[in-house]
Structure 1
Amino acid sequence: MRRTVARRLAAVLATTAVVAAGVAMSITNASAATGGVTGYATQNGGTTGGAGGATVRATTGTQINQALCNRASDSTPIIIQVEGTINHGNTTDVSGSSCDVGSTLIDLKGVSNVTIVGVGAGATFDQIGIHIRESSNIILQNLTVKNVKKSGSPLSNGGDAIGMESGVRNVWADHLTLEASGGEAEGYDGLFDMKNDTKYVTLSYSIMRNSERGGLVGSSETDLTNSFITYHHNLYQNLNSRVPLLRGGTAHVYNNHYVGIVESGINSRAGAKAKVDNNYFEDSKDVLGTFYTDERGTWQTSGNILDNVTWSAQGSENYPAGPSMPSTTTVSIPYSYALDNASCVPSIVAKTAGANKGNQVSDGSCNAQSPSQSPSNPTTSPTTGPTDPGTSPTNPPGGTNLSLGAGADGSSKADGTSYGNVIDGNMSTYWSPSGTTGTVSVKWSSAKTIDTVNIREASGTAGNIDNWQLVNHATGAVLASGTGAGVISFTAVSTTKVSFVITSASGTPRVAEFEVYA
Structure 2
Amino acid sequence: MRRPEVRRLHAALAAMVTGAALVVALPLTQASAATGGVTGYATLNGGTTGGAGGQTVRASTGTAIHAALCGRASSSTPITIQVEGTITLGNTTKVSGSSCNTAADKIEIKEVSNVTIVGVGGGAVFDQIGIHLRSASNIIIQNVTVQNVKKSNGPTSNGGDAIGMESDVHNVWIDHNSLLASGGEDQGYDSLVDMKANTNYVTVSYNTFRNSGRGGLIGSSDSDLGNGPVTFHHNLYENIDSRTPLLRGATAHIYNNYYLHLNESGINPRAGGKARVDNNYFANSKDVLGTFYTDLMGSWQVNGNIFDNVTWSSPGTENHPAGPNPTSTTSISIPYSYQLDAASCVPSVVAGTAGANKGLRVSDGNCTPQTPSPTPTGGPTPTSGPGSPTPTSGPGSPTPTPTQGQPGGTNLSLGAGADGSSKASGTSYGNVVDGNMTTYWSPSGSTGTISVKWGSATTVSKINIREASGAVGNIRSWRVVNNDTGAVLASGGTAGVISFASTSLKKINFEITGASGAPRVAEFETYAS
Q: Same fold (TM over 0.5)?
A: yes
1:281-300 mapped onto 2 (5 Å cutoff): 281-300=282-301
Which position in structure 1 is the counterpart of 2:13? 9
Residues 1:304 and 2:305 aligned together? yes
Secondary structure of the corresponding residue to residue 239 of structure 1: strand
The 2-side partners of 1:328 and 1:303 are apart by 15
Which position in structure 1 is the counterpart of 2:377? 378
Secondary structure of the corresponding residue to residue 62 of structure 1: helix
1:88-487 mapped onto 2 (5 Å cutoff): 88-373=89-374, 377-379=376-378
Q: Once the two structures are superposed, what CA deviation does each residue of 1:228-282 show, in whole Å capped at 9, x if it has no partner?
A: 1000000000000000000002100000000000000000100111000000000
Secondary structure of the corresponding residue to residue 109 of structure 2: strand
The 2-side partners of 1:270 and 1:200 are apart by 19
Compared CA separation, residues 287 and 151, structure 1 to 2 (3 A): same
Shift of 1:11: 4.7
CA contact (8 A) 1:294 1:317 kept: yes
Q: Any unmatched runs of 5+ in structure 2?
A: 21-34, 381-529
CA contact (8 A) 1:246 1:268 kept: yes
The 2-side partners of 1:159 and 1:316 are apart by 31
CA contact (8 A) 1:35 1:372 kept: no
Q: Structure 2: which amino acid aligns with 1:225?
A: G
The 1-side partners of 2:304 and 2:211 are apart by 27
The 2-side partners of 1:109 and 1:135 are apart by 6
The 2-side partners of 1:332 and 1:346 are apart by 26
Shift of 1:373: 4.1
Q: Structure 1: which amino acid aligns with 2:104?
A: S
Q: Once the two structures are superposed, what CA deviation does each residue of 1:279-319 show, in whole Å capped at 9, x if it has no partner?
A: 00000000000000000000000000000000000001100
Which position in structure 1 is the counterpart of 2:88? 87
The 1-side partners of 2:6 and 2:199 are apart by 32
The 1-side partners of 2:273 and 2:155 are apart by 35
Q: Structure 2: which amino acid aligns with 1:99?
A: C
Which position in structure 2 is the counterpart of 1:418? none
Q: Structure 1: which amino acid aligns with 2:212?
A: S
Q: Once the two structures are superposed, what CA deviation does each residue of 1:416-456 show, in whole Å capped at 9, x if it has no partner?
A: xxxxxxxxxxxxxxxxxxxxxxxxxxxxxxxxxxxxxxxxx
Q: CA RMSD in A?
A: 1.7
Compared CA separation, residues 15 and 163, structure 1 to 2 (3 A): closer
Q: Structure 1: which amino acid aligns with 2:215?
A: G
Shift of 1:88: 1.0
CA contact (8 A) 1:35 1:360 kept: no
Q: Structure 2: which amino acid aligns with 1:8?
A: A
TM superposition score normalised by structure 2 = 0.67
The 2-side partners of 1:124 and 1:14 are apart by 18
The 2-side partners of 1:371 and 1:247 are apart by 35
Compared CA separation, residues 286 and 48, structure 1 to 2 (3 A): same
The 1-side partners of 2:346 and 2:15 are apart by 20
Compared CA separation, residues 307 and 123, structure 1 to 2 (3 A): same
Secondary structure of the corresponding residue to residue 172 of structure 1: strand
Q: Structure 1: which amino acid aligns with 2:13?
A: L
Which position in structure 2 is the counterpart of 1:38? 39
CA contact (8 A) 2:77 2:113 kept: yes
Compared CA separation, residues 45 and 35, structure 1 to 2 (3 A): closer
Shift of 1:371: 1.1
Q: Higher relative contact order by CA 8 Å / sep ≥ 6: 1 or 2? A: 1
Question: 4+ residue stretches of structure 1 with deviation over 3 A?
Answer: 9-16
Shift of 1:169: 0.5
Which position in structure 1 is the counterpart of 2:66? 65
Secondary structure of the corresponding residue to residue 13 of structure 2: helix
The 2-side partners of 1:103 and 1:229 are apart by 29
Q: Structure 1: which amino acid aligns with 2:59?
A: A
Which position in structure 1 is the counterpart of 2:465? none
Which position in structure 1 is the counterpart of 2:399? none
Secondary structure of the corresponding residue to residue 126 of structure 2: strand
Shift of 1:12: 5.1
Q: Structure 1: which amino acid aligns with 2:273?
A: A
The 1-side partners of 2:168 and 2:7 are apart by 37
CA contact (8 A) 2:7 2:184 kept: no
CA contact (8 A) 1:142 1:355 kept: yes
The 1-side partners of 2:166 and 2:7 are apart by 31
Compared CA separation, residues 178 and 15, structure 1 to 2 (3 A): closer
CA contact (8 A) 1:283 1:309 kept: yes
Compared CA separation, residues 325 and 339, structure 1 to 2 (3 A): same
The 2-side partners of 1:36 and 1:10 are apart by 37
Compared CA separation, residues 159 and 221, structure 1 to 2 (3 A): same
CA contact (8 A) 2:19 2:238 kept: no
Shift of 1:380: 5.8
Compared CA separation, residues 352 and 225, structure 1 to 2 (3 A): same
Shift of 1:361: 0.4
Secondary structure of the corresponding residue to residue 344 of structure 1: helix
Q: Structure 1: which amino acid aligns with 2:214?
A: R
Shift of 1:15: 10
The 2-side partners of 1:288 and 1:139 are apart by 29
The 2-side partners of 1:266 and 1:323 are apart by 15
The 2-side partners of 1:367 and 1:5 are apart by 33
Compared CA separation, residues 372 and 380, structure 1 to 2 (3 A): farther
TM superposition score normalised by structure 1 = 0.68
The 1-side partners of 2:257 and 2:94 are apart by 38
Compared CA separation, residues 259 and 200, structure 1 to 2 (3 A): same
CA contact (8 A) 1:12 1:259 kept: no
Secondary structure of the corresponding residue to residue 214 of structure 1: strand
Q: Once the two structures are superposed, what CA deviation does each residue of 1:115-160 show, in whole Å capped at 9, x if it has no partner?
A: 0000000000000000001010000000000010101221100000
CA contact (8 A) 1:35 1:361 kept: no
The 2-side partners of 1:82 and 1:246 are apart by 32
Shift of 1:7: 1.2
Shift of 1:89: 1.1
Q: Structure 2: which amino acid aligns with 1:113?
A: N
Secondary structure of the corresponding residue to residue 66 of structure 2: helix
CA contact (8 A) 2:7 2:213 kept: no
CA contact (8 A) 1:241 1:264 kept: yes
The 2-side partners of 1:325 and 1:200 are apart by 27
Percent of residue pairs bearing the same amino acid type: 67
The 2-side partners of 1:4 and 1:250 are apart by 29
The 1-side partners of 2:17 and 2:115 are apart by 35
